[in-house]
Chain A
Amino acid sequence: MSSQENNHQDDSSDNTTDTTTHFGYQTVAKDDKVSMVAGVFDSVAAQYDVMNDLMSFGIHRLWKRFTIDASGVRPGNIVLDLAGGTGDLTAKFSQLVGREGQVILADINSSMLNVGRDKLRDRGLVQNIEYVQANAQYLPFEDNTFDIVTIAFGLRNVTDKDMALRSIYRVLKPGGRLLVLEFSKPEYELINKAYDFYSFNILPKIGKIVAKDGDSYQYLAESIRMHPDQETLKTMMDNAGFEQTSYKNLTAGVVALHKGYKF
């Protein structure tokens, strides 16, 4: 299983063309990927938080907390939580930017956005949050708008990642920073193998039982393997114009937090 996946990883930059891209291990037309990813998240939106806790044993909360700590957010900042899903990062940012600041929770998927909006409103977080349905490749914001842009567990689902990074760069203010929290390549082979076994044998079964959708979680596992590794993503950020790019491996590289500035 792992060698097969490694081949897919190796091929990740090779077997896409101007008109095709990956959807997990499948190669699909670029125009189709958006609707296919939307199908996955429409299916899992209601159980998304429960599944996140189950799949990561709750560690996703610590990864997100690490992202907040690394963001350097201040009162009055304007933050874009891209692919913000059910609003975990938005909730924290909303409290940290204060009344003078603002957080935009953006997601391409309306189902996820609705779940996020309901959750945050139920928690009384309404003052400084706005909700926007947006494609990361074509961000509907003016240039130099945001102090911070975060995209947590969302970049791998974007059809054209380079285009999305350029779009994010455009909307960041000079001095602003992008934080990309995403699954990545584990640092140790033993962990890699255990992670593969878990992702392809256990995770879809949990998805089938809890979210009644094993296929979506099979896609999740495949999309993680197809996502660029730490160094590749760092280079992509450099190419998009970000400066002082760096990354920090979390949980032995299962997840990595990439950070880059616009000056």
Chain B
Amino acid sequence: MLQQVMCSALETIVNKAVSLNIHPNDQLNALDQKTLAVKLTELGFPLCFSINDGSILVTKLIARADCTITSSINTLQTLKKEQQLTELIKQDRLDVEGDIKVAQHFTSLVETLDIDWKTELAKHIGDVATHKIVQLSKTVKNKLVFVSKQIQADSGEYLLHEKRLVVTSRQLDHFNQGVLAVDLQTKQVENRLHQLVERFHINSKG
């Protein structure tokens, strides 16, 4: 039943996306009564997209497919241009059975999808609210970018600062030399004190 849940969700999303496309869905007319089956290596079942009068049905009915694509999710993510289809086939990353034109039309359909989110949002909450939300989202985005850059800079500085605290061998040598110099000076002061004490004793006896 999970497969049906996935098909159902996908069908809703795909049809919504197509209905919101700001460009005319000419490719849908070319695909009318056609079915593209997609077999993904990650999924254990085929996803079949059937077009009928401008709406898309997602089923598992592979027997009615005009074209079957076998690939992986990663490969399909790279497929953004119609021309890439041939390249991916040559690279054996994608296998196409049946009418390749159906696959090309589907790729073009995905390529031409362009949704004007601002207009769609304004239909539900009004122009003013949409403008405010867009402004707010821009401000939040800018703030987030700033905070992210600040964090990056601070963390860089912090790491450099920590690096300075680490004692290098040169610094250790310098420290050791300093200690020896202090030791020498202490001994000199000690000798001087001894001499002064001896002189004081001699003077007091005389």
Contacts and interface: CB of A to CB of B under 8 A. Distances in A.
A127 B64 CA distance: 20
A96 B64 contact: yes
Interface of A: 61-62, 65-66, 68-69, 71-75, 92, 95-96, 98-99, 124, 127, 250-251
B86 interface: no
Interface string B56-98: 0101110110000000000000000000000000000000000
B7 to A, nearest CB: 7
A53 B43 CA distance: 29
Question: Which applies to chain B's interface (DSSP): helix, strand, loop or mixed?
Answer: mixed
Top 9 A-B residue pairs of the complex, sorted by shortest distance between their CB atoms = A95-B52, A65-B4, A69-B60, A62-B4, A74-B64, A98-B33, A66-B4, A95-B57, A62-B1
A92 B61 CA distance: 12
A182 B53 CA distance: 31
A61 B4 CA distance: 9
Given A95-B55, A95-B57, A62 B50 contact: no
Contacts, number: 48
A62 B5 contact: yes
A93 to B, nearest CB: 10
A73 B7 contact: no
Interface of B: 1, 3-5, 7-8, 33, 50, 52-53, 55, 57, 59-61, 63-64
B8 A65 contact: yes
Contact of A75 (B3, B33, B55): B33
Contact of B61 (A73, A250, A251): A73
A251 B1 contact: yes
Given A62-B8, A74-B61, 4 more contacts: A72-B61, A95-B53, A95-B57, A99-B33
Given A65-B8, A75-B33, A99-B33, A250 B52 contact: no
B57 A65 contact: no
Contacts of A250: 1
A98 B61 CA distance: 14
B61 A66 contact: no
Contacts of B8: 61-62, 65
A99 B64 CA distance: 14
B7 A65 contact: yes
Most buried by B among A65, A66, A92, A127: A65
Contact of B57 (A71, A96, A99): A96
Contacts of B3: 69
Most buried by A among B4, B8, B57, B61: B4
A73 B63 CA distance: 8
12 contacts: A62-B4, A65-B7, A66-B4, A69-B4, A69-B59, A72-B61, A73-B61, A74-B63, A92-B57, A99-B33, A127-B53, A250-B1
Contacts of B61: 68-69, 71-74, 96
Nearest to B60: A69
A235 B153 CA distance: 75
A231 B108 CA distance: 49
B63 A72 contact: yes
A72 B61 CA distance: 6
Contacts of B1: 62, 66, 250-251
Contacts of A92: 57
B64 A75 contact: yes
Contacts of A99: 33
Contacts of A73: 61, 64
A96 B63 CA distance: 12
Contacts of A74: 61, 63-64
A44 B149 CA distance: 62
B1 to A, nearest CB: 5
Most buried by B among A66, A69, A72: A69
Nearest to A76: B64
A249 B3 CA distance: 15
Contacts of B64: 73-75, 96
Most buried by B among A66, A72, A73, A98: A98
